[in-house]
Structure formats: structure tokens, C-alpha cells
Structure 1
Amino acid sequence: MDIRHLKIMIAVAEAGSMSGAAKKLYITQPAVSQVVKELENHYGCQLFERLGKGIYITEAGKLLCSQARMVIRQFDTLQENMQHMRAREVLKVGSTITVGACIIPGLMADFQVAHPTVDPYNFVNNTKIIEARLLQSQLDIGLVEGAVQHPDLVVEPVIPDYLVIICSPHHPFAGRTFIDARELENETFVMREDGSGTRELFESFARNRGFHVKIGWEVTAPEIIKTIVQKNNALAAISIRLVEAELNNGSVYVIRHPENSWHRNFNLVYHKHKQITAGMQGFMELARKIGSREIPSDHAFGMLR
């Protein structure tokens, strides 16, 4: 028994005859009679009484028609929804907090202009959580700043970036040409949460240089990090791409590492068995285009040594 059986059953009930249903459905009368017989055998009860040349629906037949109409409505809704899904791709994008703050808003605005038939969903969190969701097929593609190690994930570096240390213009480091790394030992830092690629990179540097990072604040939102730095005389390690406006208006002082130790890439990440859809391809192309642009380098920076 399938949806075709139910549609023929309803047609017979509405037409009041096998021939009328056959005419309405553009099939033969024997085909209609066969379907009704199959339904009666399937349910083990009579659906129509045959009296002379007329047929009359039974109580069992009325119940079946009533339930069948609901099933057919649900089936038709399912068909419409699936056709809509076929016409419009849903793209589930995961981005880390740094990327979500400085790259994703502009990228997605361009993406929706270029791909109006794709419905994007964006999820912003740290690298570890994005990685887990990609592995569980909860996301289609990610753009992250942290290291991704799982062998089932494809990682493509696309957007260059580097960390800087920022401080308030009133901090003792502000305006200094050189700052010794050992001086960082006594400073209070605003740090990202565990699982952040930014935090992982800076703490790795600190371990290699033999100093302990004193964490006074643990914050996920870049805008809050910058506010704390400006108002609380703290330091923070942050992406250069997140402080472009502050560099231009002089509200923070930036300290760079001269040996490029804090350079990194924002990486496209997706499962190696994932079918690359048109939406995924379009997203990757736009990310690569952003990666070809220059990042800020024409400002006066302090240097760490």
C-alpha cells in the first residue's frame, strides 16, 4: 500500500463509481478496481458495497478516506518542502570569534549578493567547538584561526593574519620603540577563553620565552577586550585585523613581534568526505579573495625583543 492507493481510494469515494475515478485520474477502470481490491485485502475489511451497478462506501471506507486525506496533505507538504530545499541550498558556516568579528560580516554580505538562492546559517565559537561540529556534520565549512589537527578535516590557509599586543595610549609601554619580553611577566593580560586559537598561539610563545602570562580577565568578545585594555591599563594579544579602527584613531598602542612569531592564517576547514556544494565553493572563493588583500602595516608600532 502506498500513496497512490490512497489517492485512488479517495477518487472512487468522491466520484461514487470506479469508472468516474478512472476518468478523473486518466487510468483504466480495471486498474482502479484492482487498487480497491488490494486495499480491502490489505486491511481485511470491505471498503465499498457493490449493489447492482452502484457502489456505496462503508464505514470502514469512510474512516480510511478521512485518514488518507490527512496523509496526502502531509505528503504534499513534504514534497513542496523538499522541492524548496532542492531549489535553495542551506549553507552552515562556522567561524571562530576573531574571524566572526573582523571577516565574516563583510564576507557574508558579499556572499548573499553573489548567491541569492543560498540560505546561510552562521555559528560563531572557538576553534575546538567548530572542529567538533564539522566532524559531526553540524556545519558544512569553517573559517578558523586556531590549529586543526584531525585527519578527517581538510585545512586550507587562505587569509594571512598576525597577533599584536595592544595597550592603552596611557600605558607605560605606549610610545616605546622596544619592549623586552621579560617585562610582560609583570603585566595583567586580557585573554581569550580556552580553546581559542589566539590564546593558544600567544601562550605557546610565552612558554617558549620562559615567562608566565598573568591573566586578569578572560573574555570571548573582542570589543570587550579592547574596552578593558583602554580603561584598565591591561594588555591583550589580539589579531591585527581587529584593531584597524583603533590604530587609525590612536585609541590603542600596538606592539609587534619582529620575527613574525605571531604570524598565522585563517583557515578554511571542511570534512574530507564532504560533497562540495555551489554554496561552499562560493564561500571559499570569497575567502580566498579577502586573503589577497593587504593587512595593516603602515603604522608606528612598538617592537618586542
Structure 2
Amino acid sequence: KVILTPAGEVLYKYAKDILALYAAAEKVIGEMTGLVKGSITIGAGSTIGNYFLPSVISEFRKTHPKIRVHLFVENMQRVIELLNAGNINVGLVEGDVKRQKLVVEKLLSDELLLIVPPHHPWAKRKEVSVSELIDEPFILREAGSGTRQTIEKFFARYGIALQAMKVSMVLGSTQAIKEAVENGLGVSIVSRWAARKENKYGTLSMVNFKEEKMLRNFSLITYKNSVPSHAVEEFLTYLRSYPFDKLLS
């Protein structure tokens, strides 16, 4: 833990004031000229970063061509680390976040579904019980992943620990998991956003759970004491009002 000296405390206060004044000046100038400039650095979880944020950023830049957007796709734990370190302006993650020094806002709900290859016996079924997964080769995300966190909590509600599963592979991305399932290396659980194209074209089948839906939130996270630039404020406003459901149509 870093503890500031009395002189450091004074410097920190003035540094915050300077940043706030700079952000305010940038905003006023942008409003006067009608043109917002600057850059935004975003950290996003695998599902959000790969499967819907590119479309959101593309549409945002049509109306904000002078704003540069940098996107880092990491697991949830790494995104939080980057935000706490001040290396990104905004985080978008899947799963539960400990608030501490963060502001957490729910953007939308997400459902996770079982995915199996089209030749698998479960592909013809509408639903599968959680207990049936115990004897099936299972492909899992790495520790620190929001998807893995959600799966662990869901299984725990039905008395199933990961140690009881036949985990055949642990992979670091949703795309790698989909490829592995398509090639018959096991079954897995991913967001409905992530597998919608494969399900549409018949390379993967999505199956519901018999007990209940596996739900989680996609959340927007920002650092509590940060001073957002005009560019960041514009993106946050755009994101909060974005019609995400149209991406599933």
C-alpha cells in the first residue's frame, strides 16, 4: 500500500484540480466548435469485446470521427486491474464486480447457454439438466474470466463443484472454446451473443438448462475518482442509450 507524505497529499489535490480544469476546458471548447476530439481507451471482457463492442464503436465513430478509440480485450480480472491502474478510461465486463473504488452500472442482461456440436445427442434436445454435465467432457474458460465466474456460481447452486467435472480443456478465449466444441473435443457454456452465428448456420447447437436460465449482467465500470474527458463523456452517454437488442436481430 502506498501512503502519501503531507507534501504528496497537497500535490495530489492540485493534480486532481488541474485535470478537472483541463477536462472542463476541453468540454467547453468542444461545445463551442461543435467538434469533440481526443481518445478513449476501453478494456472489455471477451464476450463484450469480441461480439458486440466493435459494432457499437463503429457506429459511435460515424458521429464522432475525431475521437480515437483503443480497445483491449482481456478477461474480467485483468480489465479491473487495468482500470485501477489508470491504464484504461472505461471497463466493460461480464459477471459480478466488487465495487470498492469502482462505479458499476448495469448495461444489459445476458444469458449463457450450453453449446454442443451438431452431431452430439444433446443437439436434438430442447433442454439438459445441470447434473448431466458431470459425466461429459467439459471445456472451461481460464480463472479470472467473468464467464467462468458465472458458471461456477450456477453449478454451486446445484451442489456441483468444478472438481467434480470432467474438464477436458481450459482455454483463454470464447472463440477458442467454440472451435474446440465444433471439433468434438467437449461441450461448453457461452453467452448467447457469442454463439448466435454458429447456431444460425448449424455448426453449433445451443441448448437450454432444465432447471433455470443462467443469467448475468454486462456492466460498465469506471474509476470512482477519475475525471472523464469530453471524449469519454460522449462515449459513456452514447453507450448508456445504445439499443443493444438490435445486435441480436
TM-score by length of 2: 0.78
Partner of 1:142: 91
The answer as to whether partners of 1:168 and 1:233 remain within 8 angstroms in 2 is no
Partner of 1:276: 228
The answer as to whether partners of 2:117 and 2:181 remain within 8 angstroms in 1 is yes
The answer as to whether partners of 1:167 and 1:233 remain within 8 angstroms in 2 is no
Query: Displacement, 1:167?
Result: 0.2
Deviations 1:250-294 (A, max 9, x none): 221112236654111211100111123332233223333445526
Partner of 1:244: 196
Partner of 2:124: 175
Shift in alpha-carbon separation, 1:160–1:107, aligned structure 2, 3 A: same
The answer as to whether partners of 1:171 and 1:233 remain within 8 angstroms in 2 is no
- Aligned counterparts, 1:97-136, within 5 A: 97-136=46-85
* Whole-angstrom CA distance in 2 between matches of 1:112 and 1:214: 45
Deviates more, 1:285-294 or 1:153-162: 285-294
Partner of 2:14: none
Q: Which runs of 5+ in 2 are unaligned?
A: 1-25, 31-35
- Determine which of 143, 164, 177 is the counterpart of 1:225: 177
Query: Displacement, 1:109?
Result: 1.1
* Whole-angstrom CA distance in 2 between matches of 1:108 and 1:125: 17
* Whole-angstrom CA distance in 2 between matches of 1:259 and 1:265: 19
* Whole-angstrom CA distance in 1 between matches of 2:159 and 2:121: 22
Letter in 1 for 2:203: S
Letter in 2 for 1:186: D
CA RMSD of aligned residues (A): 2.3
Partner of 2:142: 193
Shift in alpha-carbon separation, 1:226–1:202, aligned structure 2, 3 A: same
* Whole-angstrom CA distance in 1 between matches of 2:104 and 2:210: 27
Shift in alpha-carbon separation, 1:180–1:258, aligned structure 2, 3 A: closer
Secondary structure of the residue that 2:41 maps to in structure 1? strand
Shift in alpha-carbon separation, 1:120–1:135, aligned structure 2, 3 A: same
* Whole-angstrom CA distance in 2 between matches of 1:179 and 1:207: 17
Secondary structure of the residue that 1:174 maps to in structure 2? helix
In the alignment of these two chains, the number of paired residues is 213
* Whole-angstrom CA distance in 1 between matches of 2:50 and 2:189: 15
* Whole-angstrom CA distance in 2 between matches of 1:90 and 1:254: 38
The answer as to whether partners of 1:159 and 1:287 remain within 8 angstroms in 2 is no
Letter in 1 for 2:67: V
* Whole-angstrom CA distance in 1 between matches of 2:68 and 2:137: 43
Which has the bigger relative contact order, CA under 8 A and spacing at least 6? 2
The answer as to whether partners of 2:128 and 2:208 remain within 8 angstroms in 1 is no
* Whole-angstrom CA distance in 2 between matches of 1:285 and 1:258: 38
Give yes or no for the alignment of 1:263 onto 2:215: yes
Deviations 1:139-187 (A, max 9, x none): 1101111321032100111122110110011112111233222110001
Shift in alpha-carbon separation, 1:178–1:89, aligned structure 2, 3 A: closer
